[in-house]
Amino acid sequence: MEKFQKLTGIAAPMPLVNIDTDMIIPKVFLKSIQRTGFGKNLFDEMRYNRDGSEVADFVLNKPQYRNAEILVAGDNFGCGSSREHAPRAIADFGIKCVVSTSFADIFFNNCFKNGILPIVLPQEQVDLLMADAEKGENARMTVDLEAQEITTSDGVVIAFDVDAFKKTCLLEGLDDIGKTLQKEASILSYEGKMAQERPWV
């Protein structure tokens, strides 16, 4: 997993509320256990017409937001089923940070495991970021995880909270497997000891 430390990028405004995981990645695309390959189907039913052509007025299809790395979203983002493919699709598209007033718990935790920083802020601050994002590709925001601050294109600084353990995992680029592998020497030592003491196991 890539480290998340400081990100300066385009923010896409998506003020819709209750965006669920089936909207993020429809169930028809849940046929792989890989971490990659889902980005092309992110928000599939909103991004594409039935003939496969793009919906011109969908935010991520607009030229100024095609390379967005930050998503400013409406309330209750990531509700619905607990599919981990949802944050994988977001990450595969290239979005590394999602800001909202609230997230569904399972989606929120799955974001950290997939290298995405979900930030919860009060409505008035999300509104400010939404307005900044609506300026387009020239209005770049900076998200500094170490300092726990978002800086708008106009230089307004907004502080945010993040769990200390989850913050460390993102800063160091550690998912569950990576955290386990930090103890690899101890695990191998234990397994070797058990092989000698209990060879029949």
- C-alpha span between 129 and 119 (Å, rounded): 12
**In the numeric block, which tokens belong to residue 27?**
């169930």
Considering the segment(s) 6-197 as one domain, its CATH architecture is Alpha-Beta Barrel (3.20)
Whole-model pTM? 0.87
Tens of pLDDT, residue by residue over 61-111, are 999 999 999 999 999 999 998 888 999 999 999 999 999 999 999 999 999
- Provide the residue-wise pLDDT of the chain in tens; the chain has 201 residues: 889 999 999 999 999 999 999 999 999 898 877 778 899 999 999 999 999 999 999 999 999 999 999 999 999 999 998 888 999 999 999 999 999 999 999 999 999 999 999 999 999 999 999 999 999 888 899 999 999 999 999 999 999 999 999 999 999 998 766 666 665 667 666 676 777 777 776
55-91 burial: b if 16+ Cβ within 10 Å, else e: eeeebbbeeebeebbbbbbbbbbbbbeebbbbbbbbb
